[in-house]
Structure 1
Amino acid sequence: MDKRYATLSLAGLLAISSTPLWAAGFQLAEHSAAGLGRANAGEAAIADSAATIAHNSAAITRFSKAQLSLGAAYIAPQVRVTGNGPSESFNRQLTNNDVVDDVIVPSAYFSMPINEQWHVGVGLFTDFGLMTEYPKDYLAGPIAGKTSLKTMNINPNVAYKINDSFSVSVGASAVYADAELERTLGILADAINSQNGTNFNRTDIATSLKGDGWGYGFNLGVLWELNENHRFGLSYRSKVDITLKGDYTTDVPNGIVTQPGQTVGGELELNLPSIAEFSGYHQVTEPLALHYSVVMTGWSTFEEIRGTVDGVTVLQKDEKFEDSFKYALGLTYGVSSAVTLRTGIAFDQTPNVNHPSISLPDSDRMNYSVGASYAFSDSTWLDFGFSFIDAKETTFTEELEPENLPGTTVDFKSEGDAYLYALQFNHRF
């Protein structure tokens, strides 16, 4: 392999990473409009619609009739990444004011009682996803680019009411994932052309991998009802490992791809973390309820991203995430039989504390939420939720080039917030 190809093989090692849609890591919690309106406080215990399946399916034993919930959340992030390099011109080429794209996250749930003890339900929702895109001629193309991950969890559940105080549940998850990751040469094109007399462009593809696959897991839930006004919920959703199979290509021959643009089969391992949640719900007065949650996400399972072709590593990036926690507190106030108001606040901890990166401008964030419900009848109602997410400004240093090229280390800063809106239709049969 000549020097030009060896150099670009090293570039491939930097050419894949993960970027958040808008949550700690790349986790999503937009499972219901009512939940969004209370910052997801009390989700494993409240059980005000079939959407409780996404957090604690044991709570569907509180429903005496079949229920259907259909919803969607619109997420509008505003994330800005800037550089602090050797010149203003250099910095302008590293600035991106629109890192994360807007996205719609749909969900659907159905539950029904079989008898007084047994209940069944199914949820269609997502716990993880991302969609980001840097310009194709972005200077830091080897560590930025396009990153897309879409997942859908098909989650059937069975719940059993042991007695008036305790209910338990078990469910299975079939998670479908579709991913696209593309990195361009960016500044590497300049360095390699200067070193080897070649004619690469910044927009040339260093690495591109598209693929999809299925993974499987399980979930468990417990609901403890002290009485009608006080209850606690505890749930666990297992990690899911998915092997994405698809197409790998590059504009730079590297011994695996021998012609520019040639496509070969590739694989990418995706490790989605476990989620454990504890919630409480307390009807303090006739109109007012207090609720809270603590959620631990087992991000330590997400150690690296590695892509292979015929067993040979073509993409690798250390992540070494750490387990993270989210703390949420909310209030619900019943104005009338038709109108319910809610609000909440949450602190969401980032798992990305070891390898901050421009491709993952993640940080701790605060969630501020409000919401409302309107009941058209005893059987049909609409939920609305809004949340403002304020992310902490974060700075980090990252190298734009492999070690065997003249290094360019840049100080980056990322900052941003997000506006989330959700609407959900609910019907009790």
Structure 2
Amino acid sequence: MKIRNATLVLAIIAALGSPYALSAGFQLSEHSAAGLGRANAGEAVIADSAAVLANNAAALTRFDSTNISVSAAYLVPKVRVTGNGPDQGVNNQLTNNNVVDNVIVPGLYIASPINDTVFWGIGVFTDFGLATKYPDDYLAGSIGGETRLETVNINPNLAFKLNEQFSAGVGVSAVYGKAKLTRTLGILADAMNADLGTDVFSRTDTAKSLDGQGWGYGFNAGLLWEINPSHRFGLSYRSKVDIDMSGDFSSDVPSTIVQPGQTVSGELTLNLPSIAEFSGYHQITEPFALHYSVVMTGWNVFKEIRATVDGQEVLQKDENFEDSFKYALGGTYFLSPNITLRAGVAYDQTPNVNNVSISLPDSDRLNYSVGASYRFNDSSSIDFGFTFVDAKEGTFTEPLEDGDGNTIVDVPFRSEGDVYIYALQYNHSF
């Protein structure tokens, strides 16, 4: 539906202001509590719990008995988005002080030897997820709304001890994905009513909504080089996964595709990136070890979010992410046979340097981590980890479009926030 009321369009442009830029991403790396406590430094090589298979299948060869780990991380984001234009009244209407929901990220891992040279393991965990929500009557509802993504990776692995120094591992992934994308009309309802000379539309009406789910498949591989008992390196790769989702599409705006109150079948393909990691571990002294990781995430496959109904495009958002790197350095101090202390720091780059979105509010960030483990006996232990994520403040714009996909105005925003992550994990060996 075209908006032909030029006076109202110009008023919106004048109120909302001028352009800037921001970054975003939705990767999760909270696979284990011990890993969280060292800023995930050395995750492809340390192997202090069965959760290592989420980072490097080859490290399964370090287990001489069956090990089970159950973990849960609690993420508490404090993310705020505000308007950044010249009109403070409009800025206040663009403010959301609780953009990202709190979330629990669980994980379950099993690692076990088959014989002296062959090992197996399976993990159920997640590498990607997102939950952002704006009020139903949000002024920029057509670019805010609700964005929710949940993924579960079911990942069986095999590892082989090639000799005393080298191990290799492979695995396959079945990734279940569930997504919900809802956009409301917001200020576009005012423009549409003015265009029609009625009050048919409300700011809370749904402009577009797609609720879908589906499966995607991939693989992972890894190598472990144990130079000696004090020094080792790990290298791993997890392939990209394309999840083909199908679900229900609806809208309160009548069109040739769907009428208000009607639901039709829609499709969306979500391209999840590859992950490559190099890690090192060095026992510097008897009580102290140093470890590190460099992680490259192949975000360049995430070009757009595009949904279709019978081949016709109903939702499209350019993303054009770029590959990003994470650099992590950590230390482990073995205080006693029963108590282990950890700390670490990481610099995590954002992948979104080309396009902007208030539905993915994030930026380059520094992670500061501490953690500890307590061993009850030879068979059981518990890990605790805490990370403070310090995200850079950013200013950016996002285009506000009419019903035909024409840009009316670039809406200016400011994003700021931190994340507090707490994790707990229980480990048991048999």
Question: What TM-score do the two structures reach when normalised by structure 1?
Answer: 0.93
3-state SS of the aligned residue for 2:392?
strand
- SS at 2:36 equivalent: helix
- The 8 Å contact of residues 384 and 423 in structure 1, kept in 2 or not, is answered as yes
User: Equivalents in 2 of 1:128, 1:237: separation in Å?
Assistant: 13
| Separation in 2, partners of 1:202, 1:180 | 20
1:188-203 paired onto structure 2 within 5 Å: 188-198=188-198, 199-203=200-204
Please say if 1:279 is aligned against 2:279: yes
Q: Is the aligned partner of 1:225 residue 2:226?
A: yes
User: Is 2:24–2:360's contact at 8 Å kept on the other side of the alignment?
Assistant: no
Letter in 1 for 2:423: A
Q: 8 Å contact 1:187–1:400 — kept in the other structure?
A: no
Moved segments of 4+, more than 6 Å:
403-406
Shift of 1:379: 1.1
1:340 aligns with 340
Q: Which residues of 2 match residues 179-258 of structure 1 at below 5 A?
A: 179-198=179-198, 199-257=200-258
Equivalence map 1:382-397=2 (5 Å)? 382-397=382-397
Aligned pairs, how many? 410
Normalised TM-score (structure 2): 0.93
Shift, 1:86, TM fit: 4.1
**Residue of structure 1 equivalent to 2:12:** none
Structure 1, unaligned stretches of length 5 or more?
6-22
TM-superposed CA distance for 1:196, in Å, is 1.7
- Deviation digits for residues 353-373 of structure 1 (CA, Å, limit 9, x no counterpart): 000222222210000000000
Counterpart of 1:419? 420
**Cα deviation, residue 406, structure 1:** 8.6
Give the whole-Å Cα distance in 2 for the aligned partners of 1:3 and 1:32. Answer: 51
Cα deviation, residue 132, structure 1: 1.0
The 5 A counterparts of 1:274-313 are: 274-313=274-313
- The answer for the alignment partner of 1:9 in structure 2 is none
Q: Which secondary structure state, in structure 2, belongs to the residue aligned with residue 97 of structure 1?
A: coil
Which residue of structure 1 lines up, in the alignment, with residue 102 of structure 2?
A: 102
Structure 2 unaligned regions, length at least 5: 5-22
Q: Distance in 2 between matches of 1:197 and 1:255?
A: 22
* Matching residue of 1:407: 408
Aligned twin of 1:369: 369
Residue number in structure 1 paired with 2:27: 27
Question: For the residues of structure 2 that align with 1:211 and 1:234, how far apart are their CA atoms?
Answer: 35
Preserved CA contact (<8 Å) 2:51 2:109: yes
- Separation in 1 of the partners of 2:158 and 2:239? 16
Q: State the Cα RMSD in Å.
A: 1.5
Match of residue 398 from structure 1: 398
After TM superposition, give the deviation of residue 158 of structure 1 in Å.
0.3
User: Could you tell me how far apart the structure 1 residues matched to 2:429 and 2:215 are?
Assistant: 32
Aligned 8 A contact 1:179 1:212 in 2: yes
What is the 5 A alignment of 1:81-230? Answer: 81-198=81-198, 199-230=200-231
List per-residue Cα deviations over 1:324-368 (Å, max 9, x = no partner). 000000000000000000000000000000002222222100000
* Structure 2 letter corresponding to 1:194: A
Q: Distance in 2 between matches of 1:212 and 1:192?
A: 32
In the TM superposition, residue 404 of structure 1 has moved relative to its aligned partner by 8.1
Over 3 Å counting, the alpha-carbon distance change for 1:285 and 1:142 in structure 2 is same
CA distance in 2, matches of 1:264, 1:56: 42
Distance in 1 between residues matched to 2:166 and 2:141, nearest whole Å: 54
Partner AA of 1:179 in structure 2: A
Contact 1:24 1:348 in 2 (8 A): no
In structure 2, what residue type is equivalent to 1:139? L
Identity of aligned residues (%): 68
CA distance in 1, matches of 2:281, 2:406: 58
